Amino acid sequence: MKNPKFTRAFEVVTALPQPLLPLKRLATNLLWTWDHEIRDLLRSIDKDLWVECEHNAILFLNRVPASRWAALAADPVFMNRVEGCEKKLDNYLAAETWFEKTYPEEKGTFAYFCFEFGLTEGLPIYSGGLGILAGDHLKSASDLGLPLVAVGLLYNRGYFRQRLNKDGWQEEVYPEYDFYQMPLSLMRDSNNDPIRIPVDFPDRIVTCQIWKAEVGRIPLYLLDSNILENAENDQSITDSLYSGDEEMRIRQEMILGIGGMKALKAIGIEPTVCHMNEGHAAFMSVERIQQYIAAQGCDFRTARAATVHGNVFTTHTPVPAGFDVFPEPLLRRYMNNTVEASGIPFADFIKLGRFDPLNQAENFNMALLAMETANHVNGVARLHGEVSRGMFANRWPDYPEKEVPIGHVTNGIHTMTWIGRGMARLFDEFCGTDWRRNPSDPANWEGVADIPDEELWSVMEDQRGALIRTVRKRLAKSLAARNMSSRPDYDYVSSILDPRVLTIGFARRFATYKRGSLMLTDPDRLKSILYHSERPVQIVISGKSHPRDDAGKKLIQELFNFINHGGARSRMVFLEDYDMGVARALVQGVDVWLNNPRRPYEASGTSGMKVVPNGGLNCSILDGWWDEGYQPGLGFVIGNRSEGGDSGHQDWLDSRSLYDVIENQMAPTFYHRVEKGIPVGWLQMVRDSIMAHAPQFSTHRMVQDYTRQAYVPASQSFLQVSANGSALAKDGLAWRDKVQSNWGQVSVVTVSDGAGLSNPMGKEFMVTARVKLGALSPAEVRVQAVSGKVGTNRELTNTSVIDLAFGEKDGEEFVYAGQVSCDQPGHQGYTIRVIPFNSNVSIPAELNLVRWQ
């Protein structure tokens, strides 16, 4: 017979000796993932088992033999360490934080929704950059003391594990995980029963339970549909990440957004701000509206007008094809009941996800839904903000692209998660320890300038050696698993890489636009670089391709074949199964991080930021964060800011630039040893890079930016518009209706100015505009001069906006005036416009109207 089913289930845990019970608490709170002292305590229990358990602290504790516990309980040195680490956790949780000191009156709660979270390889619910960024976001939010909770999905099989077969073709392996053997706790009610959340599907209810992970001060709630109440196909909704078709995707996104909001309500959390990290979470806005309707007794329009103030949306996508879109029949099938329960016809709802609301053939775009329900929208780098404004410009056709309401908050990294112990000790000695608590303050990194060459170089050499040892261990394991040898050739393995050679790291998702094989454009030239007699180079590569992306898999196979059959085996290696553990080893051990996407398709790219505090330099296309981070002397740049045109020709140009940079800049600087075998010039670049980039590209800076620009303003605005029975929200709707019905009466009648045909730079001249407002009052509009450089087609570029002051009413006309400055040499011009204004309505995010001269 098949294996029998259980009739009753219960949890079995390792019984620690009483003195060692604090270890369970230390293992459960993920503070250990960025605190070296606590992590070293756990690891010291059994270093080999720690590696075998892949840094899953709970599984690790459950597998330590009882005899080891008895010995440790009798070891006074170990017990002192346990006591010290528990006090460290207590002090961390109780300490006064940046948020408490900066916003003592703020009473809101911020909820952060994301499809994936990369916190540790021991909790494998992430695939790549989005998840790692989300995990680092939570860690900095914890350090800074934000009143933030997070919501995600708990994947039974996580993301796939990567294996390469003997031909170098990626194969996917999906292990099943035991949540009871992870740093998670199942949320229960007052009767000790699991809290269950219903999500309305077309012909059934899907029930989810909630698990909690403790990320320092931040609770992360993860929804899981794998419970017996659900049909078998519904149990698999939270089975794996990014592996299903579009029907599975809409199911998962309903669980995340709708189920996530319901989960917070069931736990007793009512957020004032909801942050949608990518469009996957956009259905959250629908459930938030529905909960607002139930609480306030209002209609859909009022609820949307209020909640839009408290929603934040971050897009990470640099190309239109990257957004989640659903065809109308699929959307209607799954969301019709939920939408109509909110009091809005489905035909009106679907317009919120279309560029052209009247185009019934257009698919529903989740990013547009997020934008239509959030007043705070941003990209993840300065360049990505520009790209995003271009992608969504036709949603605001009457506004200049520059004024499309999408800003940017450049990503960062959680420094303590990614920094190696050696560099951390060096910074402690020369910078003090404030860099640990406040890495975003440039003053805390000034001591890097005083680190002696010998000490800095020694740590960097040690890190490179540690990386190569890790590479060789993993390679031996991969060779054995691939059956290339029943017993790995240890002579061959020990010949892979050289701890004295300039080491380049390249690791990312193998999507075609990231150009993973750009380095192979001229194989002979690459080999001449790798095996240069005086300045050799070696490259460590890692990364996965999406299971359905055969083009990406072919890139991996191309690299695999070049390494193993093209004569590069001792100078290049591909590490299988890229995860956070591999990433840490790489960013701590390489000398240079290589990134060569096709500009401008890299939204941000945080991996290169991680090498900075570890003493690594960046070599990248001017895309994502490097477009704003690069300065001469802080790293290396491939190509220039050109983009578009013939992509094949651009690839060829960029490959030539890459080879030139390595041959003529990177390798000569690295191998120029003046005295004591130390590359003095290289180390000065390292110091300058750390001091410039470490504070700027930190998630502490990033989370502080979100707090100042989005979270606190959104929280305060939401509380204001929702107070007194949503009075301000209702007033705003009435005003919008008035403006829309009367906007046809608004016009610019005449304009005059004091500018001459030729004006000296810096001159200011008066502009006077006479406008008609119809039924509107001067308090309900702004009259503005838009000034800029005149382009070849008379268009204004590099514009600035000047508010004109209301002076008097002359019959039906209103007179406005203001000063415009001659601040751009060459052909400058201006034009006049009228836009609506209401302090409780975001223009143009909520009201896309403008009247131009």
Please count the other Cβ atoms lying within 10 Å of the Cβ belonging to residue 362: 18
Sequence-distant (6+) residues with CB within 8 A of 433 are none
* Cα-based angle 233, 239, 245 (whole degrees, multiple of 5): 70
Whether 761 shows a pLDDT value over 60: the answer reads yes
Q: What is the pLDDT of residue 488?
A: 62
What mean pLDDT comes out for the span 387-412?
94
Residue type, 337: N
Q: Which tokens in the block code for residue 790?
A: 């005149």
**CB-CB contact of 55 with 46 (8 Å):** no
**In which band, very low, low, confident or very high, does the pLDDT at 487 lie, cut at 50, 70 and 90?**
low
Whether 10 shows a pLDDT value over 70: the answer reads no
Q: What is the pLDDT of residue 567?
A: 87
**In which band, very low, low, confident or very high, does the pLDDT at 117 lie, cut at 50, 70 and 90?**
very high
**CB-CB contact of 789 with 797 (8 Å):** yes
More confident residue, 784 or 793: 784
Distance CA 252, CA 371 (A): 20
Q: Which tokens in the block code for residue 262?
A: 């319901």
What mean pLDDT comes out for the span 575-581?
95
What mean pLDDT comes out for the span 231-260?
95
Q: Which tokens in the block code for residue 679?
A: 């590359």
Q: What is the pLDDT of residue 23?
A: 97
Distance CA 498, CA 464 (A): 9
Percentage of the chain lying above the pLDDT 70 cut: 98
> Which tens digits make up the pLDDT trace of 318-344?
888 889 999 999 999 999 999 989 889
Whether 7 shows a pLDDT value over 60: the answer reads no
Distance CA 256, CA 153 (A): 6
- CA distances in angstroms from 581 to 140, 305, 325, 476, 828, listed in the order given: 20, 45, 33, 17, 55
Mean pLDDT across the chain, nearest whole number?
A: 94
> Which tens digits make up the pLDDT trace of 248-274?
999 999 999 999 999 999 999 999 999
> Which tens digits make up the pLDDT trace of 621-663?
999 999 999 999 999 999 988 776 788 899 999 999 999 999 9
| pTM, full prediction | 0.95
Out of 207-211, 416-420, 839-843, pick the least confident: 839-843
> Which tens digits make up the pLDDT trace of 499-528?
999 999 999 999 988 998 999 999 999 999
Q: What is the pLDDT of residue 793?
A: 83
Distance CA 803, CA 785 (A): 6
What mean pLDDT comes out for the span 828-832?
92
Whether 440 shows a pLDDT value over 90: the answer reads yes
**In which band, very low, low, confident or very high, does the pLDDT at 843 lie, cut at 50, 70 and 90?**
very high
Sequence-distant (6+) residues with CB within 8 A of 182 are 56, 58, 59, 122, 123
Q: What is the pLDDT of residue 641?
A: 86
> Which tens digits make up the pLDDT trace of 286-296?
999 999 999 99
Please count the other Cβ atoms lying within 10 Å of the Cβ belonging to residue 387: 24
Strand partners, 111: 149, 274
Percentage of the chain lying above the pLDDT 90 cut: 88
More confident residue, 542 or 12: 542
Whether 485 shows a pLDDT value over 70: the answer reads no
Q: What is the pLDDT of residue 792?
A: 83
**CB-CB contact of 273 with 715 (8 Å):** yes
Distance CA 484, CA 492 (A): 12
Main-chain phi, psi angles of 360, to 5 degrees: -70, -10
Distance of CA 725 to the CA centre of its chain: 36
Whether 734 shows a pLDDT value over 90: the answer reads yes
Distance CA 847, CA 853 (A): 19
Q: What is the pLDDT of residue 648?
A: 87
Distance CA 638, CA 809 (A): 59
Whether 12 shows a pLDDT value over 70: the answer reads no
Q: What is the pLDDT of residue 812?
A: 93
**In which band, very low, low, confident or very high, does the pLDDT at 6 lie, cut at 50, 70 and 90?**
low
Q: What is the pLDDT of residue 13?
A: 63
Torsion over CA: 144, 145, 148, 151 (sign): positive
Whether 745 shows a pLDDT value over 70: the answer reads yes
What mean pLDDT comes out for the span 411-440?
97
Residue count of the chain, please give it.
Answer: 853
